[in-house]
């Protein structure tokens, strides 16, 4: 809370003028402030009550109500740092004198060989950074100011960039859409005055699922095997029992499983996807080229539910064992 009280007295031309100024400001809630300003003297009295609120990092507004010469005045403004433009609204009313309103939009467009986007701007022709979120929309990117969101093409422009200094842009992971996941969320760039930089984030779009991978012989890929989509993005790592948490899951999508630096088998997601994607979705992993993959010795074999016996990886033995179970 802040309080200021000032008294004054002036004498001129055989006249005396005395009075006082009072100013008070106090917090109201987490992001708001209430204020009062008054001028009381032998001349005209005036007072004003104000309310300021910061909605978030990009938006704030203020309202003021006051009296002067027994006339009421009301004014206010609203400011928003949007992804497409800086938006400012203002309105003023003074009883018996005038009424006014104003709107200001300040923005620009940047187009390069990598793509482009509309954006807010501080200085026309100023330094800026074009961001690519792998084609994923609504990804929040922050620089030195309020966040900007990628457009429908996955592009955004960060305009609050300092010249000749290392600038950092990052994805706000707390505000990512539910169907997106960032595997690389921070980029840096040092740009000259008026330059347009380009940086790309690694972002995966799609649903999330818990799956279980099985090879044709009933075993599973080794611990640490990578699951990649057709864009060569790693969307999951295989656990020691063949289970894997997958990101970027889409109906009918094709993925490959890599270990020892080689793609050994492929999986195809069902279309449509099941309603419950965290119930251990079973995904057969088909060998590439119908050739059995080279599997490390530390892979755990599968246990037969019918016999509770370890099933060898020899396809012929597996066939014989299955026939015996059926006969019994």
Closest CA to 76 of 100, 96, 45: 100
Whether residues 188 and 227 share a domain: the answer is no
Residues 94 and 166 in one domain: no
Residue 214 tokens read as 């099985």
C-alpha–C-alpha distance, residues 150 and 166, integer Å: 22
Asked if residue 242 and residue 198 are part of one domain, the reply reads: no
Q: How far apart are CA 255 and CA 288, in angstroms?
A: 12
Q: Which of 89, 106, 123 is the last residue of a domain?
A: 106
Report residue 314's pLDDT band, with 50, 70 and 90 as the boundaries: very low
Predicted confidence at residue 303, as pLDDT, reads 37
Confidence of residue 59 (pLDDT cuts 50, 70, 90): very high
In order of 139, 171, 262, 288, 313, the CA distances from 149 in angstroms are: 5, 10, 37, 40, 51
Q: What is the mean predicted confidence (pLDDT) over 90-111? A: 92
Does position 251 have pLDDT exceeding 70, yes or no?
A: yes
Last residue of a domain, one of 154, 174, 205: 205
**Backbone phi, psi, residue 206, to 5°:** 145, 180
Look at residue 223 and tell me if it is in a domain. yes
Domain that holds residue 233: 207-287
Q: How far apart are CA 40 and CA 36, in angstroms?
A: 13
Report the chain's terminal Cα–Cα distance, integer Å: 85
Domain identity same for 163 and 245: no
In this predicted structure, the answer to whether residue 16 has a pLDDT above a threshold of 90 is no
- State the DSSP H helix or E strand holding residue 322, giving kind and residue range, or none if neither: helix 315-327
CATH of the domain at 173: 2.60.40.2610
272 cis-preceded (ω within 30 degrees of 0): yes
| Domain-ending residue, one of 184, 205, 226 | 205
Report the alpha-carbon distance of residue 154 to residue 143 in Å, rounded: 17
Q: 11 with 99, same domain?
A: yes
pLDDT tens digits along 72-83: 999 999 999 999
| pLDDT reading at 192 higher than 90 | yes
CA angle 154, 107, 105 (to 5 degrees): 125
Structural domains counted in the chain: 3
Kindly state whether residues 195 and 222 are assigned to the same domain: no
Phi, psi at residue 12, to the nearest 5°?
-160, 145
Report residue 306's pLDDT band, with 50, 70 and 90 as the boundaries.
Answer: very low
Mean pLDDT confidence for 91-106: 93
**Domain CATH number, residue 101:** 2.40.160.40
Are 60 and 72 in the same domain? Answer: yes
Name the residue with tokens 């106090």.
Answer: 26
Task: Calculate the dihedral angle through the C-alpha atoms of 152, 183, 177, 197, rounding to the nearest 10 degrees.
Answer: -40
Tokens at 317, concatenated = 């033995």
Is 322 inside a domain boundary? no
Mean pLDDT of 139-150: 92
Specify whether 27 is located in the same domain as 11: yes
Residue 327 lies in a domain: no
What span, in angstroms and rounded, lies between the C-alpha atoms of 250 and 287?
21
Whether residues 101 and 131 fall in one domain: no
The CATH number for 216's domain is 2.60.40.2070
Lowest mean pLDDT among 15-19, 29-33, 108-112, 162-166: 15-19
Whether the upstream peptide bond of residue 48 has omega within 30° of 0, thus cis, is no
On whether both 80 and 129 belong to a single domain, the answer is no
Residue 86 shares a structural domain with residue 28? yes
In the numeric block, the tokens 């009075």 are attached to 19
Q: Say how far apart CA 116 and CA 112 lie, in whole Å.
A: 6
Same domain, 201 and 223: no
Which pLDDT score, from 0 to 100, does residue 132 have?
95
Give Cα 314 distance to the centre of its chain.
49
Contact 261, 272 (CB under 8 A): no
DSSP letter, residue 285 = -
pTM for this model (two decimals): 0.70
User: Which residue has tokens 């950074």?
Assistant: 129
Using one digit for the tens of pLDDT, what is the confidence trace for 193-228? 989 999 999 999 989 999 999 998 889 999 999 999
Contacts of 103 (CB under 8 A, 6+ apart): 87, 88, 89
């Amino acid at each position: 809370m802040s309080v200021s009280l000032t008294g004054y007295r002036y004498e001129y031309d055989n006249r005396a003028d005395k009075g006082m100024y009072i100013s008070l400001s106090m917090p109201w809630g987490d992001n708001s402030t209430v204020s009062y300003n008054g001028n009381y003297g032998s001349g005209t009295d005036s007072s004003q009550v104000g309310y300021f609120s910061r909605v978030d990092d990009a938006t704030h507004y203020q309202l003021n109500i006051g009296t002067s010469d027994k006339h009421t005045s009301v004014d206010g403004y609203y400011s928003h740092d949007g992804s497409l433009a800086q938006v400012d609204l203002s309105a003023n009313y003074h009883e018996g004198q005038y009424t006014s309103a104003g709107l200001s939009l300040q923005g620009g467009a940047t187009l390069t060989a990598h793509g482009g986007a509309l954006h807010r701007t501080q200085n026309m022709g100023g330094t800026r950074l074009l961001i690519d979120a792998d084609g994923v929309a609504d990804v929040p990117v922050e620089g030195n100011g309020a966040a900007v969101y990628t457009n429908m093409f996955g592009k955004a422009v960060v305009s609050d960039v300092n010249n000749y200094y290392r600038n950092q842009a990052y994805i706000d992971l707390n505000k990512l859409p539910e169907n997106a996941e960032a595997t690389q969320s921070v980029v840096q760039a040092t740009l000259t005055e008026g330059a347009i930089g380009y940086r790309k984030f690694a972002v995966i779009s799609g649903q999330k699922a818990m799956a279980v991978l099985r090879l044709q012989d009933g075993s599973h890929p080794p611990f640490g095997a990578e699951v990649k989509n057709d864009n060569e993005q790693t969307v999951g790592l295989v656990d020691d029992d063949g289970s894997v948490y997958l990101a970027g899951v889409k109906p009918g999508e094709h993925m490959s499983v890599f270990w020892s630096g080689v793609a050994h088998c492929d999986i195809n997601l069902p279309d449509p996807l099941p309603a419950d994607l965290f119930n251990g979705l079973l995904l057969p992993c088909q060998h590439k080229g119908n050739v059995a993959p080279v599997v490390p010795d530390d892979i755990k074999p599968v246990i037969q539910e019918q016999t509770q016996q370890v099933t060898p990886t020899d396809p012929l033995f597996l066939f014989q064992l299955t026939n015996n179970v059926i006969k019994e």
